[in-house]
Amino acid sequence: MTNRLTLPRPDDFHLHLRDGAMLQGVLPETMRHFARALVMPNLVPPVVTAADARAYRDRISALIPAGVDFTPLMTLYLTETSDPADVAAAAADGLVTAVKLYPAGATTNSASGVRDFDKVRAVLERMAEIGLPLCVHGEVTDPSVDIFDREAVFLDRVLEPIRRATPGLRVVLEHVTTAEGVAYVRAGGDALAGTITTHHLILNRNHILAGGIRPHYYCLPVAKREHHRRALCEAATSGEARFFLGTDSAPHIDALKENACGCAGCFSATNTLPILAQVFEDAGALARLEGFVATHGAAFYRLPTNLGTLTLERRAVPLTLPDKILTGAGPVTLFDPGFPLYWHVTP
């Protein structure tokens, strides 16, 4: 049995850092293990322009201590009034790494998202020309579509028409949650990739609903049936370069999670790597963990693999972590995988 594993420092290609006191509280949890993270733009107001992205990057960078190797990779929030020239200039300056598509109303702070996809066609065409990836929250928001079917319907109704109408557009289907999503990414060619979260490798919908509602397991896209979870585990541990880590770690204070209308999101930045090591060990695929967390995503985003390393060590005594991260905005509950973690990240 392998008890020690050294990897290039990993990347998180889907992360929510929020802003203000919450940003200050949760950023150290990502910087501890990750060298880079793709930072989501769904602030209030959202990060729409190059100027917005530069200001947000500066706020993040101001909190990175001297000597700490961490790079925030910025994104722009796609709206129906986004300017193709501004997007292209931000990419040319190296300011942004991707543009994020939120269907309006799909998830937290997505009210400014896209309703009429014809109105963003010029931006998408310019992105295809310059090779700038589009990151997609893959759910329809049609109230007639069951919440457990929204990803599969999105693939047929929205994503496939976008890709057919915009040849060459590089797309990341983020936080894939269904067997249909896995199959779609596999069939999509070199211009399509998919991120998989830590929590969707663990949760099925029973974890949220059976025996009582567990608000800290509620996320969007919502966890699906067990056969979908198994499909995600198979994809993540397969070694296929088209699948890589995007934690979608999404902090909300407990008061907003434990609520009559609780927020969607799981906060997993702190313990993602020990959890993933266990998942990959259980699948007999520890040798493939490096690709999932450190090389596949970098290759798709045309970034070099990080030079630093990180070591995971399997110990007899489980890892001890706090239940909550205390931030200036309030306490944030850490994602609980429901099993002990024997893999420790060593200095």
What pTM was computed for the model?
Answer: 0.96
Give the per-residue pLDDT at 263: 95
Q: Judge whether residue 107 has pLDDT over 70.
A: no
Domains detected in the chain: 4-346 (3.20.20.140)
What percent of the chain is modeled with pLDDT above 90? 94
Angle at 99 between CA 17 and CA 272, to 5 degrees: 40
Give the per-residue pLDDT at 305: 98
What percent of the chain is modeled with pLDDT above 70? 98
Strands 343-346 and 309-314: antiparallel
Mean pLDDT over residues 97-124, rounded?
83
pLDDT digits (tens, 9 = 90+) for 268-290: 999 999 999 999 999 999 999 99
pLDDT digits (tens, 9 = 90+) for 215-246: 999 999 999 999 999 999 999 999 999 999 99
Give the per-residue pLDDT at 181: 98
Alpha helices in the chain (DSSP H): 20-31, 50-61, 84-92, 121-130, 150-154, 160-165, 179-186, 205-209, 226-236, 254-257, 272-282, 289-290, 296-300
Mean pLDDT over residues 133-158, rounded?
95
pLDDT digits (tens, 9 = 90+) for 286-343: 999 999 999 999 999 999 999 999 999 999 999 999 999 999 999 999 999 999 999 9
Q: Judge whether residue 109 has pLDDT over 60.
A: no
Q: Cα–Cα distance between 104 and 140 in angstroms, integer?
A: 9
Q: Cα–Cα distance between 201 and 219 in angstroms, integer?
A: 13
Q: Cα–Cα distance between 35 and 306 in angstroms, integer?
A: 7
Which residue type, as a one-letter code, is found at position 59?
R
pLDDT band at 106 (very low <50, low <70, confident <90, very high): low
- CA dist list (Å): 23 to 17, 98, 132: 5, 21, 26
Of the residues 11, 12, 52, 248, only one is catalytic, namely 248
Q: Judge whether residue 33 has pLDDT over 90.
A: yes
pLDDT band at 121 (very low <50, low <70, confident <90, very high): very high
* Long-range contacts at 190-193 (CB < 8 A, ≥ 24 apart): 191/163, 192/163, 192/242, 193/242, 193/243, 193/244, 193/296, 193/297, 193/300
Give the per-residue pLDDT at 262: 95
Is 248 noted as a catalytic residue in this protein?
yes
| Least confident window among 6-10, 102-106, 168-172 | 102-106
Cα–Cα nearest to 246, from 69, 50, 36, 45? 36
Mean pLDDT over residues 35-62, rounded?
97
pLDDT digits (tens, 9 = 90+) for 182-208: 999 999 999 999 999 999 999 999 999
Instruction: Identify whether the C-beta of residue 222 lies closer than 8 Å to the C-beta of residue 169.
Output: no
Round the average pLDDT of the chain to a whole number and report it: 96
Mean pLDDT over residues 147-156, rounded?
96
Q: Is 283 exposed, middle or buried (0-12, 13-18, 19+ CB in 10 A)?
A: middle
Give the per-residue pLDDT at 75: 98
pLDDT band at 114 (very low <50, low <70, confident <90, very high): confident
